[in-house]
Each structure stands twice: as structure tokens, then as C-alpha cells.
Amino acid sequence: MEEKNVKVISSELLSDNWGVLRKVKYDFKLQDGSWQQQEREVYNRGNGAVILLYNKEKGTVILTRQLRIPTWFNGNADGMMIEACAGLLDENDPEECIKRETQEETGYRITEVKKIMEVYMSPGSVTEIIYFFTGAYSADMKISEGGGVESEHENIEVLEMPFTQAIDMIKNGKIKDAKTIMLLQYAQINGLV
């Protein structure tokens, strides 16, 4: 049986609001066999899923635009971010979640998605894993205007744009969201659009 390389000494709850923030003290076994005590804050906000909707025939993608207040605090003038459709898993599996989020946020009902990867976006402080998907869309899949769920106070703008424009928006800094950049680059590398 393999020996553990981490032993938790204490875990103090700092906040239990939208997510759970803990201050954790632990011993970590180094490569030379010695132990070192460390302390970190760990934020658990649950896991998420994200999808790039693309239309190969039209050469377009669907993205969203919404307020992300933490970016405003870090110098993003209006706090608005252009992103791929995404959401927290809640109790759903990643595929169910992303299909539901796609319909709520973009108004498109998709039935087939492809999982392409699982990623820790900020492993130094956040427990979240994001499940990345791609999915083809067409005009006949549009069943509503989208925009998010009113009870969740979502105010989401749906953007359909040429794939080449989205790639240019990475270059000129108009798209700064890591998960969106990763999905657009995946699409570019794999010739999805």
C-alpha cells in the first residue's frame, strides 16, 4: 500500500457563502522523505462544464457576453467578458449540465456533444475541475432567445460570430477567458470550423 504524501493537520472554515473557503494546514512529504508543514487557502465552488458551439458550414461559433465582477476588480473596465457557454454541475453529470446550460444561456437545444478534456483551471487555490465539450449547432436547434435563467439573475448576451473573428479577438485581447481561448484553439488545431 502506498504511503500518503499529505497529512491534514487542521482545516478552518473561513467562508461558506457561494462556495466554501477553508484555511488548511498540512504536512507534505518531500522527495527526500522529509516532511514540510504548509498552509494554504482552498476554495471549493464545485465543478463545471463548458462548451464551444460551432457551425462548420457557416464558419461560426456561439459565445456569450456577461458581467464577471471579479474581472472589474482587476482592471476590466466594464467587467464584461466574452466566453463560451458554461455552468456549474450542481448534481448533474457534466454532459447533462452542459446541454441544460446551452439551452438556458444560448437558446439552442443540442443533443450531441463531445467531451474533449478535463482541466483544473487554478489548481493553486481552487478545487474546481472543468469538463470541456464541443458541439455542432444549426439554426433549427434554436428554440428560445437564451440569455440565462431569470431566477439566477443571469443577464447573458448571445453572440454568433465568424470563427475567424473569435480567433482575432484572442489576439487583440477582447477574449481573455482561459476556457474560451482553450476551446477556440482546440477548434482551430482540429479543424472543427
Residue 86 among known ligand-binding residues: yes
CB atoms within 10 A of CB 159: 16
Q: Of 130, 129, 125, which is closest to residue 43 (Cα–Cα)?
A: 125
Q: Of 106, 120, 93, which is closest to residue 158 (Cα–Cα)?
A: 106
Q: Tell me how far apart the alpha carbons of residues 180 and 127 are, in angstroms, rounded to a whole number.
A: 19
Q: Of 43, 4, 9, 41, which is closest to residue 25 (Cα–Cα)?
A: 9
Residue 101 among known ligand-binding residues: yes
Q: Give buried/exposed letters for 174-191 (b at 16+ CB in 10 A, else e).
A: ebebebbbbbbeebeeee
Q: Of 91, 173, 186, which is closest to residue 135 (Cα–Cα)?
A: 186
**CB neighbour list of residue 143: distance below 8 Å, 6 or more residues apart:** 103, 107, 108, 109
Binding residues for Mg(2+): 86, 101, 105, 154
Binding residues: 86, 101, 105, 154
